[in-house]
Amino acid sequence: MRSDSPKTPYRGGRVSARLDVGVFPFYKFEGANARDNGPYYVQLADQNEGTDLAKLNFYQGGQALPTLVPGGTRGVRARQRMGRNPRGPASTYYEVVGTHFDFLEVETPVSGQLSAPATGLLVPRWQVVSPGAQRYTFAVDFGTTNTHVAFATADRPEPQPFRIGTEREMEVVMLNRPLPSSDFVLPKRYGPDSFGMMPLADTVRNREFVPAFIGIEGAESAFPIRTATCESPAFISEGNPLLFGSINIGFYLSRDGFLYNHPEDGRYRTNLKWNTEGGERAAGVERIRAYIRELLLLIKHKVALNEGDVRATQVVWSRPLSMKTVARRDFHDIWYQEFERVFGEEPGQRLADLSESWAPYLYLTDRHTDGGIVPSERDNVVNIDIGGGTTDVLLLRGKKPEATLSFRFAGDVLWGDGAFGGARQQNGLLYYYVARTANKPVSQEAAAAREVVRAALESKASSADVVSLLFNFDKQLEFSRELRSARQLRIVLLLHYAAVVYHVGQVCQARQLAVPRHLCFSGKGSTYLRMLDLDPQLGTLTEIGKLILEFASGQPAPSDFRLTLVSQPKEATANGSVLWKQAGGDAAQAKAPAEFVLPGVLPADAPAGPPQAFTLAEAESDTIEDEVIANARRLVRFITHDSAEIRGLLDELNVEIDPDFVYNFLDGKLKDSLRAGLNSLRDSGTNADDRLPETLFFFPFRDALFQLGRELFKRYYASQTH
């Protein structure tokens, strides 16, 4: 059936309607297994003329399905998302719960003398499925910037990215007619040209619903994906959001330049993970709930259509350490509630969580991966997982976990707009790239990518969001390559790396832990290390890391000290979680060692007794402020002046600095940056006698590095752009 197929009204005659209908998921269990059906989501795209919109009525067993009432377990719920507009079809979404449906009735208004609407029937040719023998394990790494989903089966235990790559498992079935199979790759066969007179129905599907394919050649999306939602303009005000009718995963964000400049059609929302505090708590929780529900629906869909047993499917989610207790409880409750909603029963042992610090290490030490770490009782190991918002660290004394750390000093410090949350697009590294490439000729493929980035820039998206797009299009737009030439700006990247390694060294000293033989990095935020070190083997950063660890800990590093960065850093956490669950899910590893918080002052200035975090009131005292800043200043001085070995290696990183300028500029910004961090804690509800959830050491750097990057751009490059 085509999108513009004729319909016959009850009173005779013929009408044409420009409509399309999409159904997700497109399978049905029968008999005793029918309990695993649903929920189903149906999209109605309407590109007719006139005021009134078409609508759908659902039938099962010859009876119309009722409207779903609050607290009900069977029926249909509907919500219009987009009204008539000149930019594309109107859209309405339906949720069918508690049952499948045998057919649906399309009801569309007609012009002229007919008072009754025209109606027609659509009968889905369901894929009938039965529980299979294959057992699936999935892991979800829900990050600040990106989300990755990995899976494995009993027959194929190696973790692999989630993908939808065949017609049988196509996620959403619509009324479009696929193009010839011999002429196009699979996603293109079901792309805009397959929709006849409604090519924009493809955009609506990708923006508001679910993509047909994921992770194969020609597909618009592949994991890892941006951690973002796409929301209707009324999402917050309307209340009781409907998945797809109000909000959905923003799969199309990196392709949808049009929406950046048309907020009346909706918006993409990022920074979901840390947006559950303060005045937006309720909306923040609903965003996370919708995101997780859709992921679980995709997981169930893949299992059902690939001879899997949905009742035996296991899911592991990565547990963040540095969240407040309330936010962490929100995540736990959402995962358990949504698992039960999607899979129809309490999760029991099928749903588990694993610390974000543990999971990457399990991947790095698996003999089938490229981590290359062989655990030994004689060698200490540190894994540093840098995300967008947090860095999580695991220290091991030999094979035994020693401590975990978590702090808000990660990718957004490099690519964001500073700790004060001021004007957007002020990042010096972003300034540099935009100034260098604004008029640079590019290929046709790169031109399409650049238009999306330009739309984001024009809409005043945050620096972090624009940079995320640039990393996504790195192959086409060469963001990493351009920044390798930013000789005077690259000190910002080096100082970020140095601060993380320095703090790890001080933790080793506090724990009486010898300098580790293995310094390992994972997480999407760690990819800047390959941008910083021009040596593919990271030899220069290895030597600098060794020098900083020795300086911070007061101990010599092993002669065979190694730095390891996995080839796909973002995938390490989810892959490690899959391997852990496949191996039986060791309960001791799930608990992980206790989190350790070093105060952040110089070791000689630390209070007597075991190290512990300061309270907010203590941290705001002049004495503690001065001691924290002295510790930060000590590191900066070591990099800019005191270490002849490091200064001798800067040229290998293509880093050039004026030591006095960098040191003096940062020295003037450290205190304001520290105080901005403390103010943000108060604003988020931290009480004066609450112990801080993380070290104070990074607070002086959070805004100071941003300010340094902006100042270095003005000092060395701004005049070149005029």
SS (H, E, C) 679-702: HHHHHCCCCCCCECCCCCCCHHHH
Whether residues 319 and 378 fall in one domain: no
Q: What is the pLDDT of residue 422?
A: 65
In SS3 terms, 396-445 reads as EECCEEEEEEEECCCHHHHHCCCCCCCCCCCCHHHHHHHHHHCCCCCCHH
Q: Residue 137 in contact with residue 151, Cβ under 8 Å? A: yes
Gap between the Cα atoms of 93 and 82, Å rounded: 10
pLDDT band at 4 (very low <50, low <70, confident <90, very high): very low
Q: What is the pLDDT of residue 17?
A: 85
CATH code for the domain in which residue 283 is found: 3.30.420
Q: How far apart are the first and last CA of the chain?
A: 57
Q: What is the pLDDT of residue 369?
A: 72
Backbone angles phi, psi at 480, to 5 degrees: -60, -40
pLDDT surpasses 80 at 689: yes
Decide if 436 is inside a domain. Answer: no
Q: What is the pLDDT of residue 441?
A: 86
Least confident of 40-44, 327-331, 573-577, 653-657: 327-331
Q: What is the pLDDT of residue 8?
A: 47
pLDDT surpasses 90 at 371: no
pLDDT surpasses 60 at 376: yes
Whether residues 167 and 111 fall in one domain: no
Query: Which of 129, 158, 184 is the endpoint of a domain?
Result: 129
Gap between the Cα atoms of 644 and 642, Å rounded: 6
Q: What is the H or E stretch that residue 339 is in?
A: helix 325-343
Taking the whole predicted model, whether its pTM rises above 0.85 is answered as yes
| Two structure tokens written together for 688 | 């004066």
Q: What is the pLDDT of residues 243-286, one digit of tens each?
A: 999 999 999 999 999 998 899 999 999 989 877 766 678 899 99
Match 């650049």 to its residue by tokens. 450
- Taking the CA atoms of residue 93, residue 96, residue 101 and residue 104 in that order, the dihedral angle to the nearest 10 degrees is -30
Q: Residue 44 in contact with residue 56, Cβ under 8 Å? A: yes
Whether residues 145 and 107 fall in one domain: no
Question: Which one-letter amino acid corresponds to residue 143?
Answer: G
Q: How many CB atoms lie within 10 A of CB 661?
A: 15
Q: What is the pLDDT of residue 7?
A: 47
Q: What is the pLDDT of residue 320?
A: 76
Q: What is the pLDDT of residue 183?
A: 79
| Two structure tokens written together for 70 | 């609050």
Gap between the Cα atoms of 544 and 546, Å rounded: 5
Decide if 292 is inside a domain. Answer: yes
Residue % of the chain over a pLDDT of 90? 72
Q: Residue 392 in contact with residue 320, Cβ under 8 Å? A: yes
For residues 557-583, average pLDDT:
93
Give the residue among 605, 593, 617, 620 at the shortest CA–CA distance from 689: 617
pLDDT surpasses 80 at 710: yes
Gap between the Cα atoms of 137 and 627, Å rounded: 48
β-pair partners for 384 = 393, 521
Give one word for 92, left, alpha or beta, with left for phi > 0 and alpha for psi -120 to 50: beta
Whether residues 170 and 277 fall in one domain: yes
Query: Which of 114, 129, 144 is the endpoint of a domain?
Result: 129
Strand order across the 247-249 sheet: 247-249, 229-231, 267-269
Decide if 213 is inside a domain. Answer: yes
CA atoms within 13 A on the CB side of 389: 19
Gap between the Cα atoms of 258 and 272, Å rounded: 22
Least confident of 146-155, 159-168, 324-333: 324-333
Residue % of the chain over a pLDDT of 70? 94
For residues 552-578, average pLDDT:
93
Gap between the Cα atoms of 373 and 377, Å rounded: 13
Q: What is the pLDDT of residue 3?
A: 37
Give the mean pLDDT of the chain.
Answer: 91
Three-class SS state of 653? helix
Which has more pLDDT, 672 or 110? 672
Which has more pLDDT, 418 or 592? 418
Q: How many CB atoms lie within 10 A of CB 184?
A: 16
Decide if 435 is inside a domain. Answer: no
pLDDT surpasses 80 at 477: yes
Which has more pLDDT, 607 or 367? 367
pLDDT surpasses 50 at 604: yes
Q: What is the pLDDT of residue 607?
A: 63
Residues in the chain: 722
Whether residues 264 and 395 fall in one domain: no
Whether residues 604 and 638 fall in one domain: yes
Whether residues 289 and 332 fall in one domain: yes
Q: Residue 34 in contact with residue 100, Cβ under 8 Å? A: yes
Give one word for 398, left, alpha or beta, with left for phi > 0 and alpha for psi -120 to 50: left
Decide if 10 is inside a domain. Answer: yes
**Preceding amide of 224 cis, omega within 30:** yes
Query: Which of 77, 102, 129 is the endpoint of a domain?
Result: 129
| Two structure tokens written together for 280 | 């937006």
Question: Which one-letter amino acid corresponds to residue 69?
Answer: V
196-80-263 Cα angle (round to 5): 85
Q: What is the pLDDT of residues 278-294, one digit of tens each?
A: 667 889 999 999 999 99
Match 């964001």 to its residue by tokens. 416
Whether residues 688 and 568 fall in one domain: yes
Q: What is the pLDDT of residue 487?
A: 96
Decide if 420 is inside a domain. Answer: no
For residues 343-372, average pLDDT:
86
Which has more pLDDT, 416 or 610? 416
Whether residues 243 and 178 fall in one domain: yes
Gap between the Cα atoms of 493 and 467, Å rounded: 15
Whether residues 230 and 117 fall in one domain: no
Q: Which residues contact 331 (CB under 8 A, 6 or more apart)?
A: 288, 317, 319, 320, 323
pLDDT surpasses 50 at 378: yes
For residues 147-156, average pLDDT:
95
| Two structure tokens written together for 529 | 């290390």
CATH code for the domain in which residue 34 is found: 2.60.40
Number of separate domains in the chain: 3
Q: What is the pLDDT of residues 93-119, one digit of tens each?
A: 999 999 999 999 999 987 765 567 889
pLDDT band at 319 (very low <50, low <70, confident <90, very high): confident
Q: What is the pLDDT of residues 588-601, one digit of tens each?
A: 777 767 788 898 99
Decide if 397 is inside a domain. Answer: yes
Q: What is the pLDDT of residue 325?
A: 75
Whether residues 183 and 121 fall in one domain: no
Q: What is the pLDDT of residue 110?
A: 79
- Taking the CA atoms of residue 211, residue 214, residue 218 and residue 224 in that order, the dihedral angle to the nearest 10 degrees is 120
Three-class SS state of 57? strand
Give the residue among 99, 120, 82, 317 at the shortest CA–CA distance from 209: 82
pLDDT surpasses 90 at 566: no
Three-class SS state of 587? helix
Whether residues 290 and 229 fall in one domain: yes
For residues 392-419, average pLDDT:
92
Q: Which domain holds residue 707?
A: 371-412+489-721
